[in-house]
């Protein structure tokens, strides 16, 4: 069955599991009960008569993680994670399980809040309850094993998790130490795929009217813009003021856009053409040895004079500062990889629906898409314009899932990406 379907269907539409039923479940009206179908567990078929077993300790560890996340033991050491049922959500869980000490998807965001009418644990809890009622992302969990596909489950009202500490009687230096201690503790307390909700708050009260609050969440439920909106809404709720919360239909629309993109001939044609442009980047960058592993982190502060120079250059070249920075990113990649007149990278892109109130929605609305520029130009202005043109071309197709690009078109997994953020100051800061 799998072979026949693979011969007739595109790769992304070939089922990764099959279910045998005596009859299709029906509703009381005699129609197919699609909700009941979604609850039927899939049975993955063996991918070959003799799967190749792990041969090293590292492969055995990965095999165990894959089996747990994918819900099957029919895994060979030759298998592709995405080809046997993996997706971006399961990929997040795989990365978290593979390196539990890494903080890639465990986010702790802190800010100060004040309230003229005073603060108490009861006030903070009431504000958080209000936010949880108004935002489906704060009532969400994930089920990756018990349905035909990964499901986001929205609960009525999950148990709120709040750590509240009053240090207002302590001196300033002691307060700073306690805040630092709580921050470290929250960084160490990781979420699992079974947790609900996938967020919590720590609040350290430093005076009757002021506190340091920390939003701790799994990156799967909130992007950076949503964190900023969360603090805006929380500050308003804490002060008893109204705020704008987006309807749940915004989150539903985001899911539909991704599903429609996968079935769109226009989107498929576009990303198929991008796979050809990406061909030079599919292998190891020229001139670099194999065997290097791990993550290297480095930070560089961009001072005011350079930021102003970038803004001035963007104004002269009639582009945005983002594309000036992207041009520098591409130039650095080309130099490192020893590409003559070519550069490729991943770009973190906004996938919010183009609907009223979408900017107020809390959720994960990001996608990482490949961007390649063939022809870097002879000047910075030309490269900035080439980067802007490349991003403009992919904007209408930005909802196409990265995992499908990998399995269907052979675009390699992106281990390098450009992420530009420029958020307005929140009311909490």
- pLDDT number for residue 291: 46
Domains and CATH numbers, the chain: 2-98 (1.10.1200), 106-245 (3.30.559.10), 250-286+302-418 (3.30.559.30)
Nearest in space to 51 (alpha carbons), one of 43, 59, 39: 59
* Pairwise CA distance, residues 387 & 378, whole Å: 14
Whether residue 205 contacts residue 166, with contact meaning beta carbons closer than 8 Å, is answered with yes
- pLDDT number for residue 285: 47
Q: Residue for token digits 């903080």? A: 103
- pLDDT number for residue 141: 87
56, with CB counted inside 10 A (0-12, 13-18, 19+), is exposed
* Pairwise CA distance, residues 32 & 21, whole Å: 13
Digits of tens for pLDDT over the chain (429 positions)?
666 766 666 554 556 566 777 788 887 777 777 666 656 555 544 444 456 777 787 777 777 767 766 666 667 777 666 566 665 556 655 556 556 555 678 999 999 998 888 899 999 999 999 999 999 999 988 887 777 777 888 998 878 899 999 999 999 899 999 999 999 999 999 887 778 899 999 999 999 999 999 999 999 899 999 999 999 999 999 988 999 999 999 999 999 999 999 999 999 999 998 888 877 665 544 444 444 455 566 788 888 899 999 999 999 999 999 999 999 999 998 988 888 888 899 999 999 999 999 999 999 999 999 998 888 877 999 999 999 999 999 999 999 998 888 888 888 777 788 999 887 655 544
* Pairwise CA distance, residues 326 & 419, whole Å: 9
- pLDDT number for residue 299: 81
- pLDDT number for residue 286: 42
The angle at the Cα of 386, spanning 380 to 392, to the nearest 5 degrees, equals 135
| 21-54 per-position pLDDT tens digit | 778 888 777 777 766 665 655 554 444 445 677 7
- pLDDT number for residue 339: 85
DSSP assigned state of 43: B
3-state class of 424 per DSSP? Answer: coil
């Amino acid at each position: 069955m799998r072979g026949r379907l693979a011969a007739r269907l595109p790769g992304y539409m070939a089922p990764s599991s099959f279910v045998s039923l005596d009859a299709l479940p029906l509703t009381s009206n005699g129609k197919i009960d699609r909700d009941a179908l979604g609850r039927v567990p899939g049975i993955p078929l063996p991918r070959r008569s003799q799967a190749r077993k792990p041969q090293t300790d590292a492969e055995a560890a990965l095999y165990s993680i894959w089996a747990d996340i994918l819900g099957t033991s029919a895994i060979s050491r030759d298998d592709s994670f995405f080809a046997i049922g993996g997706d971006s959500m399961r990929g997040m869980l795989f990365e978290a399980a593979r390196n539990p000490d890494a903080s890639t998807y465990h986010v702790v965001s802190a800010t100060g809040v004040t309230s003229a009418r005073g603060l108490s644990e009861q006030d903070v809890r009431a504000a958080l309850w209000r936010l949880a009622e108004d935002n489906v992302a704060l009532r969400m969990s994930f089920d990756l094993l018990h349905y035909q596909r990964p499901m986001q489950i929205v609960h009525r009202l999950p148990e709120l998790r709040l750590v509240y500490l009053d240090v207002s009687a302590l001196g300033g230096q002691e307060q700073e130490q306690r805040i630092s201690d709580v921050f470290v503790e929250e960084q160490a307390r990781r979420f699992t795929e079974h947790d609900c909700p996938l967020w919590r708050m720590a609040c350290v009260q430093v005076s009757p009217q002021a506190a340091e609050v920390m939003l701790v969440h799994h990156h799967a439920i909130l992007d950076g813009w949503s964190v900023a909106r969360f603090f805006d809404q929380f500050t308003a709720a804490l002060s008893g003021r109204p705020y704008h919360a987006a309807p749940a239909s915004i989150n539903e629309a985001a899911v539909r856009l991704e599903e429609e993109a996968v079935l769109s001939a226009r989107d498929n044609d576009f990303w198929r053409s991008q796979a050809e442009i990406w061909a030079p980047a599919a292998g190891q960058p020229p001139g670099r040895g194999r065997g290097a592993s791990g993550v290297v982190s480095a930070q560089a502060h961009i001072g005011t004079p350079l930021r102003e120079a970038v803004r001035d250059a963007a104004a002269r070249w009639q582009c945005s500062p983002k594309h000036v920075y992207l041009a520098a990113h591409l130039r650095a990649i080309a130099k490192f990889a020893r590409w003559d007149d070519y550069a490729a990278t991943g770009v973190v892109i906004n996938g919010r629906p183009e609907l009223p109130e979408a900017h107020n929605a809390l959720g994960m609305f990001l996608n990482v898409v490949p961007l390649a520029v063939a022809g870097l130009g002879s000047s910075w202005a030309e490269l900035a314009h080439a980067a802007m043109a490349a991003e403009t071309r992919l904007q209408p197709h930005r909802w196409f899932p990265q995992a499908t690009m990998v399995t269907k078109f052979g675009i390699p997994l992106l281990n390098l990406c450009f992420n530009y953020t420029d958020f307005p100051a929140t009311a909490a800061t």
